[in-house]
Amino acid sequence: MKIISTTVARKQLGHLIETVREHNSAFGIGRRNRAEAILIKYPEYINLTLDPWTQFAANGGGFDFWADEPELYSIKDIKRRYD
């Protein structure tokens, strides 16, 4: 994630929003090369039952690594009742 100053963010806000929308990238905005806020793409779908941090991780690609993992359990395994 690239960190940009608040001055640059103010001057290039339209361009930054377009870049985030088209390329699904994120920018840290802050001072002294330290992010104080993050500009990310607004999710297309929001699950209101999740807390904000889980929403952020899910929509920000935080769980994308699971797509490459093999399936360990079948649906039958998951539905099986354990007594």
Q: Exposure of 41 by Cβ count < 10 A (0-12 exposed, 13-18 middle, 19+ buried)? A: middle
Q: What's the count of helices (H) and strands (E) in the chain, helices before strands?
A: 4, 3
pLDDT number for residue 82 = 60
Residue showing tokens 């607004």:
42
pLDDT number for residue 52 = 81
Quick count: other Cβ atoms within 10 Å of Cβ 63? Answer: 11
Q: Where are the domains of the chain?
A: 2-79
The pLDDT tens digits for 13-22 are 999 999 998 9
Quick count: other Cβ atoms within 10 Å of Cβ 59? Answer: 19
pLDDT number for residue 81 = 64
The pLDDT tens digits for 24-68 are 888 999 999 899 998 988 877 788 888 888 877 777 666 777 777
